[in-house]
Amino acid sequence: MALAARLGGAVVNADAMQCYRELRVLTARPSVADEAAVPHFLYGVRAAAEPADAAWWRRAVLEVLERVERPILCGGTGMYLAALLKGIADVPAPGEAARAEARGLLAELGAVGLHGRLMEVDPETAGRLKAGDSQRVARAWEVWRGTGKGLAYWQQQGSAGLTGWTCRMVLVDPPRQVLRDAIAARFEGMLAAGAVDEVRGLVALGLPADLPIMRAHGVPELAAYLRGEILLPEAAARAILATQQYTKRQRTWFAHQKLVGGADMQTIHARIDGSAQLSESFWSDLVNFVSC
């Protein structure tokens, strides 16, 4: 936000869960006051029942880029950033009927059984998937059923990477223990801010358990608490652990990716201390880095 104010830019969401309306607290979405202070885009724009994915997000961001001169993409969903910078297959929406059929067959046949069905109609895609990967197998089935072509076909039609922009990548990389402590403190703050009631409202919608929003960190754990299966301290401990494990995978993913490169793209790594504040010297370097 400070960078956007300094540069006359706008903050653009690059977090897969902050796009949903129903989870402001549990996804640490910017507050109403934050959104009023500087322009924000793609926060809270998607209904829980409407699955967001990298292809949808890329299309939405490209529309934002047509109107914003200095976009500051903020968020750690690496697949989304890679989709924007490197390109991605733009798979047509399969439709709710195809999704419902995939969910029904998955419940009836199991992942292995549905994989066998997929092998009969779309062997190219099925051959790339593990038979037990229920999420990807169901996704492949709904794409084949809804579009008439397999997921492998659409992936071969990938779009080009981002052109016409100079990109600066900043990876905020705090020490591991600092990050772990911050995650625990943040979740306790979320509970105090009403996370349980937020999940109660989400559960009341009766949405399918395989929707992305139902897997947001804290949702499965607090939902289990609301069902009376575990106590709140246990739910909090599980949610904190799940988030810590995710950030470990996140760090590994970014360490092995080359999202930017070439003469017009640079990368800088930022390490912050326990106060989560950037030093004055780093702040100056950061402004110069993204402004050049």
Single-letter amino acid code for the residue at 124 = E
pLDDT tens digit sequence for 118-129: 999 999 999 999
Give the pLDDT confidence of 150-175 residue by residue, as tens digits.
Answer: 988 887 776 678 888 888 888 888 88
Res. 283 pLDDT band, cuts 50 70 90: confident
Whether 91 contacts 147, CB under 8 Å: yes
The model's pTM is 0.79
Please report which confidence band the pLDDT of residue 263 belongs to, taking 50, 70 and 90 as the band edges.
Answer: very low
pLDDT number for residue 126: 93
| Residue 221 near residue 190 (C-beta atoms within 8 A) | no
The H or E element spanning position 59 is helix 54-65
- DSSP letter for 260, please: -
Query: What's the CA gap between 236 and 96, in Å, rounded?
Result: 34
Mean pLDDT (whole number) for 98-102: 90
Instruction: Please give the Cα distance from 4 to 167 (Å, whole number).
Output: 15
CA distance linking residue 151 with residue 167, whole number of Å: 30
**Span 176-211, pLDDT tens digits:** 898 999 999 999 999 999 999 999 999 999 998 878
Q: Is 265 helix (H, G, I), strand (E, B) or coil?
A: strand
Domains by residue range for the chain, with CATH: 2-89+160-291 (3.40.50.300), 96-155 (1.10.20.140)
